[in-house]
Amino acid sequence: MAELLKGKPVGDLLDETTKIKVTMLKAKGITPTLAILRVGERQDDLSYERGATKRCEKNGVAVVNKILPDTCSQEELMTAIKELNEDDNVHGILMFRPLPKTLDEKAACNAILPSKDVDGITQGSMAYIYSGQGDGYAPCTSQAVMEILKFYGIDPKGKKATVVGRSLVIGKPVSMLLMNANATVTICHSRTENMEEVTQNADIVVAALGKAEMLGREYFKEGQTVIDVGINYSEEKQKLVGDVKLDEAEGVVSGITPVPGGVGSVTTAVLVSHVVEAAQKSAL
Amino acid sequence: MAELLKGKPVGDLLDETTKIKVTMLKAKGITPTLAILRVGERQDDLSYERGATKRCEKNGVAVVNKILPDTCSQEELMTAIKELNEDDNVHGILMFRPLPKTLDEKAACNAILPSKDVDGITQGSMAYIYSGQGDGYAPCTSQAVMEILKFYGIDPKGKKATVVGRSLVIGKPVSMLLMNANATVTICHSRTENMEEVTQNADIVVAALGKAEMLGREYFKEGQTVIDVGINYSEEKQKLVGDVKLDEAEGVVSGITPVPGGVGSVTTAVLVSHVVEAAQKSAL
DSSP 8-state secondary structure symbol assigned to residue B243: S
Q: Taking all residues of chain B, what is their mean pLDDT, rounded to a whole number?
A: 97
pLDDT at B253: 98
B178 shares its domain with B253: yes
pLDDT at B72: 97
Residue B82 carries which side chain, given as an amino acid letter?
A: K
ipTM at complex level: 0.91
Rounded CA-CA distance A275/A257 in Å is 25
Considering the domain boundaries, does residue B73 fall inside one?
Answer: yes
Domain identity same for B144 and B260 = yes
Q: Would you say B40 and B49 are in contact if contact means Cβ atoms under 8 Å apart? A: no
CB-CB contact of A20 with A279 (8 Å): no
| H helical segments located in chain A | 8-27, 43-59, 74-86, 105-111, 123-131, 140-151, 171-180, 195-200, 246-249, 264-282
Would you say A202 and A161 are in contact if contact means Cβ atoms under 8 Å apart? yes
Whether A237 is in a domain gets the answer: yes
Residue ranges of the alpha helices (H) in chain B? 8-27, 43-59, 74-86, 105-111, 123-131, 140-151, 171-180, 195-200, 246-249, 264-282
Helix (H/G/I), strand (E/B), else coil: B135 = coil
A191: nearest CB among B130, B182, B186: B182
What is the reported pLDDT for B105? 96
Within 8 A by CB and 6+ apart from A193, the residues are B158, B184
Q: Are residues B76 and B184 in the same domain?
A: no
Interface of B with A in 143-162 (CB under 8 A): 157-158, 160
Answer whether residue A264 shows pLDDT above 90. yes
Domain membership of residue B75 (yes or no) is yes
Q: Do the annotations mark residue B231 as ligand-binding?
A: yes
Q: Does A197 touch chain B (CB under 8 A)?
A: no
pLDDT tens digits, B188-205: 999 999 999 999 999 999
Decide if A283 touches B, using CB distance below 8 A: no
φ/ψ (deg, to 5) at A271? -55, -50
Strand partners, B63: B34
- Please indicate if the annotation marks A92 as binding a ligand: no
Best mean pLDDT range from A132-136, B22-26, B233-237:
B22-26
Angle (CA) B9 B90 A128, round 5°: 80
Nearest-Cα distance to chain A for B10, in Å, is: 27
Query: Per-residue pLDDT tens for B97-126?
Result: 999 999 999 999 999 999 999 999 999 999
pLDDT above 90 coverage of chain A, percent: 97
Banded pLDDT at B283 (limits 50, 70, 90): confident
Which pLDDT score, from 0 to 100, does residue A204 have? 98
Tell me what the mean pLDDT of segment A93-99 comes to.
97
Range of the domain at A159: 140-264
Asked if residue B284 has pLDDT above 90, the reply is no
Chain A interface mutation, best of B166, B182, B184, B199, highest count of A Cβ atoms under 10 Å: B184
* A38 lies in some domain: no
What is the number of domains present in chain B?
2
Model confidence pLDDT, tens digit, residues B1-13: 999 999 999 999 9
Helix/strand number for chain A, H first, E second = 10, 11
Rounded Cα–Cα distance for residues B112 and B96 (Å): 12
Which amino acid, residue A260?
A: P
pLDDT at position A283 is 85
SS3 A212: coil
**Mutation site, A97, A106, A121, A126, interface B, largest B CB count within 10 A:** A126
Rounded Cα gap, residues A80 and B115, in angstroms: 28
Coil/strand/helix, residue B241? strand
A158 has binding-site annotation:
no
Q: For B127-147, what is the mean pLDDT?
A: 96
B99 and B202, same domain (yes or no): no
Residue A284 pLDDT exceeds 90: no
Q: Whole-angstrom Cα distance, residue B160 to residue B196?
A: 15
Does residue A167 have a known ligand-binding role? Answer: yes
Q: What residues in B contact A168, CB-CB < 8 Å?
A: 131
The answer as to whether A257 is a domain residue is: yes
Chain A partners within 8 Å of B191 (Cβ): 157-158, 182, 184
What CATH number is given to the structural domain containing B83? 3.40.50.10860
Domain containing A190 — which CATH number?
Answer: 3.40.50.720
Q: What does the mean pLDDT of chain A come to?
A: 97
The verdict on B160 and B249 lying in the same domain is yes
Q: Please indicate, yes or no, whether residues B155 and B109 belong to a single structural domain of this protein.
A: no
pLDDT of res. B17? 97
Contact criterion met (CB < 8 Å) for B184 and A192: yes
- A246 domain residue, yes or no: yes
Say what the alpha-carbon torsion angle B228, B230, B233, B237 is, to the nearest 10 degrees.
Answer: -30
CA–CA distances in Å: residue B209 to residues A175, B97, B106, B242: 20, 19, 23, 9
Whether B40 and B75 map to the same domain: the answer is: yes
Judged by a CB distance cut-off of 8 A, whether residue B123 touches chain A is yes
**Is A123 touching B (CB cutoff 8 A)?**
yes
Distance from CA of A242 to the nearest CA of B (A): 23
Residue A247 located in a structural domain: yes
Mean pLDDT of all residues in B25-47: 96
Q: Chain A closest CA to B101's CA: distance in Å?
A: 18
Residue A89 confidence (pLDDT) above 90? yes
B218 close to A211: Cβ distance less than 8 angstroms: no
Residues B88 and B151 in one domain: no
